[in-house]
Amino acid sequence: MINQLLVQGVQMLLVLALAPLLTGVVRKVKARLTRRRGASVFQPYRDLRRLLAKEVVLADNASWLFRVAPYLIFACTWVAACLVPTFATGLIFSWSGDLIAITALLGTARFLLALAGMDIGTSFGGIGASREVMIASLAEPTMLMIAVSLALIAGSTQLSSIAAFMLHFGSLRVTLALSLVAFIIVAVAENSRIPVDNPATHLELTMVHEAMVLEYSGRHLAMIELAAAVQLLLYVSAIACLFLPWGLATNGAGIDAYAIGVVAYLAKLTVGAVALGVFETSVAKMRVFRVPNFLGAALMLGLLGVLLLFVSRGM
């Protein structure tokens, strides 16, 4: 019990501590690939510290929702991230939510963020929110279809159980390949990455996430940036634990297994960050109305995976 609680606590803090670093590494990779020197991988930490120390400039007509939303968004995202096994399965709180609940918790965060974007009543906030919900209306069903596929294979929607199943009985399946592709597309879209959105832009009509948070400053902006970093880490961790579960320490393993788990996790994160950086550098940003085709393909892949499983359990 104490052991489990400890593992859970360490994972929670690890997620929070590593999230800005992951964002920093992705930025560094992208900078190097475009032959720039780039900021240090620790720059996101410095940004957060600076933002936290600054005063908040709040629009005159901002409501309480605008001020509360950043904290709630961060809390929802972090709680969702705490339910994803990173280096060890058997999280003590994992039974308080499954993959569907994690998707829905991220949905809660997005709901609040979209509302916060509309609170001031600027056109940028509105455009960001409206596009965000359009993207989410395709990405969220895709996530649910992936959850259904994985649940049909592993017999459970709990991430810990799925990871344990994949670790011991995982085999190559058509559905898993379809789900992985769909999951990656959703991850790219939900984390506002190229080709769906560009995290580095301002003042472009194509922007989605940045448009919603345009009015935020100071500690509020810090919370939103941290939440975005945690969300990116969550998706990379989820892909790692669902599709590449090697090295995960199982419940009640020895200290060496945990050490292997941590090293494997860090390695997976690095691979994920580099892959994301390479992917983002090598594709161009899409027009906003190309995005539904891109995400619709993911939805169809997810649905196809589920249908295959309903037709034949072996696929």
Partner 1 sequence: MIVALLLCVTALLALSIAAVPLAAQPAGRPVIYGACLGITSVAALLAVVTIAARPTAVILPLGLPWLGAHFRLDALAAFFLLVVNLGAAAASLYAIGYARHGHAPHRVLPFYPAFLGAMNLVVLAADAYSFLLAWEFMSLASWALVVAQHRDPENIRAGFIYIVMASFGTLALLLGFGLLAGADGGYDFATMRLAHLTPVLATVVLVLTLIGAGSKAGLVPLHVWLPLAHPAAPSHVSALMSGVMTKVAVYAFIRIVFDLLGPPQWWQAVVVLALGGATAALGVLYAILQRDLKRLLAYSTVENIGIIFIGLGLALAFQANHFPAGAALALTAALFHAFNHMLFKSLLFFGAGAVLNATGERNLEHLGGLIHRMPRTAFLFLVGCGAIAALPPLNGFVSEWLTFQAILIRPDLPEWGLKIAVPAAGALLALAAALAAACFVRAFGIGFLGRPRSAAAANAHEVDRFSLAAMGIVAALCLLAGLVPGAMIDLLAPVVRVVTGTGLAAQLSVPWLSIVPNAEAHNSYNGLLIFLFIAAVTWLTVLAIHRFASQSLRRGPAWDCGFPDPRPITQYTADSFAQPIRRVFGTVVFGTHEVVTMPPPGDVSAARIRKIVPDPIWDFLYAPLAGALNWTTQLLNYLQFLTIRRYLSLVFIALILLLIAVALWQ
Within residues 95-154, the interface with partner 1 by CB under 8 A covers 95-98, 100-101, 104-105, 107-108, 110-111, 114-115, 118-127, 129-131, 133-134, 136-141, 144-145, 147-148, 151-152
Q: Which amino acid is at 103?
A: T
Q: Which of 223, 240, 241, 315 touches partner 1 by CB under 8 A?
A: 223
Smallest distance, Å, CB 265 to partner 1? 22
Smallest distance, Å, CB 130 to partner 1? 5
Measured CA to CA in angstroms, residue 19 lies from 145, 269, 271 at distances of 27, 10, 15
Whose Cβ is closer to partner 1: residue 108's or residue 270's? Answer: 108
Whose Cβ is closer to partner 1: residue 64's or residue 169's? Answer: 64
What's CA 89's distance to the chain center, in Å?
19
d(CA 289, CA 134): 10
For 159, other C-beta atoms within 10 Å of its C-beta total 26
Smallest distance, Å, CB 28 to partner 1? 26
Task: Count residues binding partner 1 (CB under 8 A).
Answer: 87
- Counting other chains too, the contacts that 207-211 makes at CB distance below 8 Å and 24 or more residues apart are 207/128, 208/128, 208/131, 208/132, 208/135, 208/288, 209/128, 209/132, 210/128, 211/117, 211/124, 211/125, 211/127, 211/128, 211/131
Beta-bridge mates of residue 88: 249
Smallest distance, Å, CB 239 to partner 1? 20
Contact 268, 240 (CB under 8 A): yes
Contact 261, 87 (CB under 8 A): yes
Is 207 near partner 1 (CB under 8 A)?
no
Smallest distance, Å, CB 33 to partner 1? 29
Smallest distance, Å, CB 114 to partner 1? 5
Is 197 near partner 1 (CB under 8 A)?
no
Measured CA to CA in angstroms, residue 134 lies from 21, 64, 92, 115, 309 at distances of 30, 26, 35, 14, 28
Those residues with Cβ within 8 angstroms of residue 208's Cβ, 6 or more apart along the chain or in another chain: 128, 131, 132, 135, 192, 196, 197, 288
Is 65 near partner 1 (CB under 8 A)?
yes
Q: Which of 10, 39, 59, 244 touches partner 1 by CB under 8 A?
A: 59
Contact 150, 158 (CB under 8 A): no
Those residues with Cβ within 8 angstroms of residue 108's Cβ, 6 or more apart along the chain or in another chain: 72, 76
Smallest distance, Å, CB 67 to partner 1? 9
Whose Cβ is closer to partner 1: residue 32's or residue 54's? Answer: 54
Is 156 near partner 1 (CB under 8 A)?
yes
Contact string (CB under 8 A) for partner 1, positions 26-45, x = contact: --------------------
Whose Cβ is closer to partner 1: residue 65's or residue 259's? Answer: 65
Q: Which of residues 226-285 bind partner 1 (CB under 8 A)?
A: none
Smallest distance, Å, CB 267 to partner 1? 29
Nearest to 51 by CA among 231, 232, 220: 220
Contact string (CB under 8 A) for partner 1, positions 280-309, x = contact: --------xx--x------x---x--xx-x
Is 215 near partner 1 (CB under 8 A)?
yes
